[in-house]
Structure 1
Amino acid sequence: MRYDNVYKKLADFGRDLLNDTSYEKGLPRIAKYAKEVIGAHRCSIFINDLQKGELWTPLSDGIEKIIIPSDKGLVGHTIRVKEPLIENNPYSNPHFLSDIDKESGYVTKNIVTAPVFNSQREIIGVIQLLNKEEGFDKEDLKFMIFFAHYVSGYLELMNLWLREDSKNK
């Protein structure tokens, strides 16, 4: 497996991540690591707001905050089917939201997504990587599943801190 050395470095990454107690510090670390390991050009981390029924990005490379209904796009499809996905031809997929590319000027060539589950097995987010030179494959999907599980505790904790912070304001 080509990711053998990556998993060894994951322990160091995890220790560093636990020192980041804010989205502003932790999410860029998650995105950078995922992009480096897989060789993707961009990473977006979507948070699933169950109360509002929307997905939003506290982190999205190269674009302002994205907010979409939680049942739209390939990320919404990932939530509906509760499975990761690879799409190496997104413009042919009816779930793909090409409007985001139109607004940003970015051209999405391929996508891999993985749902992030909390401790109650609810989907609290989705990690999405875009544009790997040779396209995404099954090995990338396996890593994304593992990585989503690995960062799920951090994202769940961040969501709790955000809710508590908003209650105190």
Structure 2
Amino acid sequence: MTTSYTALADFGRALLKRPALSEGLPMISEYAKQVSKAERCSIFIYNPKIQMLWTTLADGIEKIMVHVNDGIVGHTVKEGKPILVNNPYEDERFLHTIDNKTGFVTENIASIPIFDSNRRIIGVFQLLNKPGGFSPEDIKFMIFFAHYISGYLELAMLFDDQTALLAKGIE
């Protein structure tokens, strides 16, 4: 078990060397897929002002935008807790339209909220298509992982906002 904690610590050190979301999110996705054995990882950012979630990273597809009232990802925000769905096509919350547009077939989903330092949801990460489905043990680790990456995401979003303001000549 110490090996996995050592690997996680090594991952964390490498992640902190990438202050921009565009650099860090692919690392988060790859690590989450490697550890969970999932086929895909999507990381959604939540904007409470407009009640929308959008992917800053979605393996193999274009940007996805979802209203907070829609999909497993929206329900994850509304419920504020992880959602595990091993038969998504039988779940009324599942958005079939995304699979229809992309041609991807979602077999199972682990959807985990990401909280900021004030315990507000700032995003959701979803893992898709783990062979054999997701278990409660997977969710335990992914909750821990969401807490682990939340500080990075909060800082990276601030860094990206500051960089955008500097690019516009505003401080």
**TM-score range normalised by the length of the shorter chain:** over 0.9
Given the alignment, which residue of 76, 100, 103 partners 1:102? 100
Q: Which residue is 2:125 aligned to?
A: 127
Which of structure 1's runs of 4+ aligned residues deviate more than 3 A?
165-168
Report the equivalent of 1:153.
151
> Aligned residue for 1:85?
83
Q: Residue in 2 aligned with 1:112?
A: 110
What's the offset of the Cα at 1:55? Answer: 0.3
Tell me if structure 2 keeps the 8 A contact 1:6–1:37.
Answer: no
How many angstroms does 1:4 deviate by?
Answer: 5.7
Distance of 2:2 and 2:55 partners within structure 1: 30
TM-score by length of 2: 0.93
Q: 1:137-148 to 2 correspondence within 5 Å?
A: 137-148=135-146
Contact 1:114/1:126 (8 A) holds in 2: yes
Return the alpha-carbon distance in structure 1 between the equivalents of residues 89 and 51 of structure 2: 25
1:1-169 mapped onto 2 (5 Å cutoff): 5-168=3-166, 169=168
TM-score, normalising length: structure 1: 0.94
**Matches of 2:15 and 2:97 in 1, distance apart?**
33
Q: CA deviation at 1:160?
A: 1.4
Work out the percentage of aligned pairs sharing the same amino acid.
Answer: 52
Cα RMSD over matched residues? 1.2
Matching residue's letter, 2:26: P
Any gaps of 5 or more consecutive residues in structure 1? Answer: none
Assess if the C-alpha contact under 8 Å between 1:35 and 1:43 holds in 2: yes
Structure 2 spans left out of the alignment, 5+ residues: none
Distance of 2:6 and 2:126 partners within structure 1: 23
